[in-house]
Structure 1
Amino acid sequence: MKIFDSHLHIIEPNYPIITNNGFTPEVYTVEDYQTELANQGIEARGGAVVAGSFQGFDQTYLENALTKLGPDFVGITQLPIETSDEEIVRLDQIGVRGIRFNLYRGVSESIQTIEAFSARVYDLVKWKTEFYLDLDTLSEELKKVILKLPKASIDHLGMGSSSKDKLKRLLASGVTVKVTGFGRIDYTREQLITLLPELYAENPDGLIFGSDLPSTRSPERFNIKDIALIQTIFSEVQAEKILLKNAQNWYLTK
């Protein structure tokens, strides 16, 4: 089974880790990730290594991970707003393709700052902006900003299960939605069977799958049954778009 893994975390030893809300993650190396997928018969044709809240603004682990994983893997990082243009360009050259705002874990940037910084990195290097948030509590002001951004995505189906209509509107407006984190979202698998085709109908190019490995803080860890669910719901061509092609187009082109 071939996928483009749009959401994974790498937690290598000997790199800075910040305890976040009392949580310190266990080590999860590139080799651990590759072994876990191989043991389930999954081949990652590329992916996005996403900065976790516990990694702060460190870039060294990300540079190491991207070097090990190869050119079809990209980085989604967290940066302080005062980061220089030169540093952003340097990170772009090593494979970083987006910034992430983890509003679910209490990022303190203002909406105005998020909008301005997202516009700056897009103008400079065409990076995407990724949001980890709960759509059930999304403010109208932030929603307007997300819709204005040239390239934006939402992690984990927006988390909250009362937000189906918001997801549909975002997708229809060109926001990409990550079909990730089945073990942490509020939607049940039975609800996903109904929800995912409705979302696909809004924008068949806007859904991208990811493993969310190593599923930090999630009640249930990813496994191949998450992929099997998508294959059951959709035709072979549709499933291939969600599992592979949409994310390749999203991350590997500017």
Structure 2
Amino acid sequence: MSASNNAIPSGWDCHVHVFDPAHPAQAGHYRPVLRDMPEIEQAAAPLGIGHLVLVQPSVYGTDNTLILRSLARRPGRHRGVVVVDTAVTDAELDNMHRLGVRGVRFNLVSPVGNGPEAFRALAPRLAARGWHVQWYARHDQLATIADLHEGSGLAAVLDHLAGLHVGIGRDDPAWNALQRLAGQGAWVKLSGWYRLQAGAPYDTLHAHIRRVAQTLGERLVWGSDWPHTAFPPDALPPYGSVWHPVVQALGENRAAAVRAAGALLYA
């Protein structure tokens, strides 16, 4: 599928980042090269992707300027997931919502990420706006996330196959924690295959993808993780190569539903 007559393709890529090397980055992180909205829009369109979810990368901390600026370029078309601290004002949250932000990212993998204390402080304000909480976490942290979300009124969105890497066995406690999160209305992003101890074409993850799909039902979205910061800037995987595992594991019809589901989660 490709765009024609200036129509916007209907599919969603629910996990991309934008970078500008001129923008201040936190010390100790990689130095990003320019990766902007026009570049990812052009890469995504041939796969029928016309809507993007811009996720704040750890390199920019709580400075969401690039995401908000990018969202303002295409009013109503794309969505954002930001990183904020507990001092964020209601006016700032409302402005973010107006621009298309629908979630806040919490990071239990990187030391710069928000944790449980910030979740408890922010949860009522996020729930009041109908936002969700996106977690970048390891598989052994899923039970902690389920405890936090119990009674919070917030849906959890779990990055990168909920951290369920290829070494996770069938009887690992993480699967029970995922089932509990599913009962709370959680979503999972089918993304970040190369962060899960897997190499292209990622067929070693097919069984995990199918089990996650069985557990979560329709609450699955796909994300490319573009521009693939785990790779050198001049050696990025082809955009479509990180979509193909969804089709191969779930089949064409189910994969099409996953590609469209961002319209529900990010409404």
Match of 2:265 in 1: 250
For normalisation by structure 1, the TM-score amounts to: 0.86
Paired residues of 1:212 and 1:222 also in contact (CA < 8 A): no
With over 3 angstroms needed to count, the CA separation of the structure-2 counterparts of 1:152 and 1:62, relative to structure 1, is same
Tell which deviates more after alignment, 199-208 or 230-239: 230-239
Q: 2: CA distance between counterparts of 1:175 and 1:65? A: 27
- Could you report, residue by residue, the CA deviation over 1:85-121 in whole angstroms, capped at 9, with x for unpaired residues? 1111111111111111122111464523312312222
Shift of 1:30: 1.2
For normalisation by structure 2, the TM-score amounts to: 0.82
Q: 1: CA distance between counterparts of 2:32 and 2:164? A: 24
Paired residues of 1:160 and 1:187 also in contact (CA < 8 A): no
Gaps of 5+ in 1: none
Match of 1:66 in 2: 71
3-state SS in 2 of match to 1:105: coil
Q: Structure 2 matches for 1:23-42, cutoff 5 A?
A: 23-38=30-45, 41-42=46-47
Tell which deviates more after alignment, 43-52 or 169-178: 169-178
Match of 2:221 among 176, 196, 208: 208
Paired residues of 1:147 and 1:175 also in contact (CA < 8 A): no
Q: 2: CA distance between counterparts of 1:199 and 1:139? A: 13
Sequence identity (%): 22
Shift of 1:139: 6.8
Shift of 1:73: 0.6
Structure 1 residue 178 corresponds to structure 2 residue 189: yes
Alignment-mate amino acid for residue 136 of structure 2? Y
- Structural RMSD (CA): 2.3
Match of 1:8 in 2: 16
Alignment-mate amino acid for residue 156 of structure 1? H
- Could you report, residue by residue, the CA deviation over 1:213-247 in whole angstroms, capped at 9, with x for unpaired residues? 00113587363122222222324331111122x21
Structure 1 residue 144 corresponds to structure 2 residue 147: yes
Q: 1: CA distance between counterparts of 2:213 and 2:142? A: 24
Which fold has the larger relative contact order, with Cα–Cα distance below 8 Å and residues 6 or more apart in sequence? 1
Q: 1: CA distance between counterparts of 2:81 and 2:118? A: 18
